[in-house]
Structure 1
Amino acid sequence: MTTAVLITGSSSGIGRATAERLARRRDLTVYATARNPSSIADLADTGAVTLALDVTDEGSMRAAVERVEAEHGAVGVLVNNAGSPQYGTIEETDLDAVRAQFESNVFGLARMVQLVLPAMRAARRGRIINVSSMGGRIVFPAGGYYHASKYAVEALSDALRFETAPFGIKVSLIEPGLIRTGFGAVAATTLAGAAAPEGPYAALNAAADHVMADYYRSRVFSSPPDAVAKVIERAVLARSPRTRYVITPAARALVQTRRLLGARVFDAYLAWQYRPGA
């Protein structure tokens, strides 16, 4: 029997690239999911099974997990990829938008874990791969709430890895840098929606928008979605997967710089990077 891989958020970007890559393997049965099934209908041509799954809807999550368990006994690999960005300063951003972000990025992820674990424990095996971000290790201005959601994913994954190890379940974090998906455009849109055009943070918001646009356009600082899909495939197949996979050279450099040089030096770097007119 093949191993069942359930991927959330497969309509675009990392989730779609992962579904396409894993569906090529004969030893895996890939269940690609999205809130709107029509957005992933074409993935059936790759060999993936397509399902509706909204990580903010309990019935939808239960139905998807029950479908996989009915056909395979247990979810063999859960790839928690679904999520959304909410950018804006801490003062200006509407907290209802922040709550909605945490529903998808944190609580939806946690609920998916809760739903797949009983059958995984009974099978005494399984893998949970949580897609975090380099933003779960470092923080950029005007992104505090998004980073907070990814820091939460990091903490949950660290606890989960220890709790589930006795049952043969392995947990890995995927920490991409800038990936050329629709994420940058959505982040810029949420930033524009949160910012007061003539408010006290206008210069910072303009700088943040400029920095994001420049870095997402750069082929040096950003990578295509398949760069992440390759690493997720490695985490799925490895006998002893790593606890963390930091993806892209720029992400590794930034994470190490922040770790080694501390907050003051990193803040100085950010002050230079986000200076007005930069």
Structure 2
Amino acid sequence: MNTFTLIQITDTHLSRERPEFSGNFEIASKLIGKVKPDVVVHTGDIAVEATARSDDLLFGKEAMDSLDAPYYAIPGNHDVGDNPSDHGYMPPKPVTDALVQTYEDHFGPDHWVIDQAGWRLIGLNAQLFSSGLAREQQQLDWLVETLASADARPVAVFCHKPLLRDAIHEPVDVPYRYVPLVNRGPLVAAMDAADVRLFACGHVHQARDHWRGNTRHVWCPATAFTLPDDVQPRVGDKRCGLVSYRFSPRGVEVDMQFPAAMHHPEADVLRKVYAI
């Protein structure tokens, strides 16, 4: 296959009990049905809060299965719990083996690799970073081997959380927003041993497209909602949407899309679903 088309969606926050964000997912689903990409990648926070309601994850699985395209997914903090991070941050709902296993029972492995159009595409479970779970080291060992065996192929990494805001070593404004500083060194060392040209993420509910060296960092806009500026500082584009990619041996084309029909829930709706 000379070209490979992929649509990234993220932060859909789906729930049978809390359906406030289902409308935007349906808009994304219709767009996917028209485009018919080779694959869809969901970069996490499939569910509103699977750590409290296991049915949220099941509902998310049913929604993803309804897409008119094959898909891969990786978990977010609302799917399997969050990871400890910088400045002693401890999440109120930490990641556990049991939550990851439940996720994998629905969606398959929490990390994976696809080889297409001369590229190696890798999905990572960001929630394992600094978790201390045995899965964390197992994933890192797998990543080192998977990157080393990429040979001359360019690599794209998909991860729920951004690797960084602007630089590898930087003051952390919000400890749970990015990959923890202590994990960046091993992760970057593994990536620098390969030709990693794309690091695609979600989590922040803002769209952003910037470069670190030869690696393009793409923050996919959330499908479900954005956050008010008084709750979350603006570092990117606060619109709902998705990202379309076209991979080929020559490189990758990136197209941020913001469907006008996607609505942006008001703050009071967000407060009903999440305490913000």
TM-score per shorter chain, which class?
A: 0.3 to 0.5
The structure with more radius of gyration: 1
> As a proportion of its length, which structure holds more strand?
2
**With structure 2 as the length reference, what TM-score do the two structures score?**
0.40
Higher fraction of helix: 1
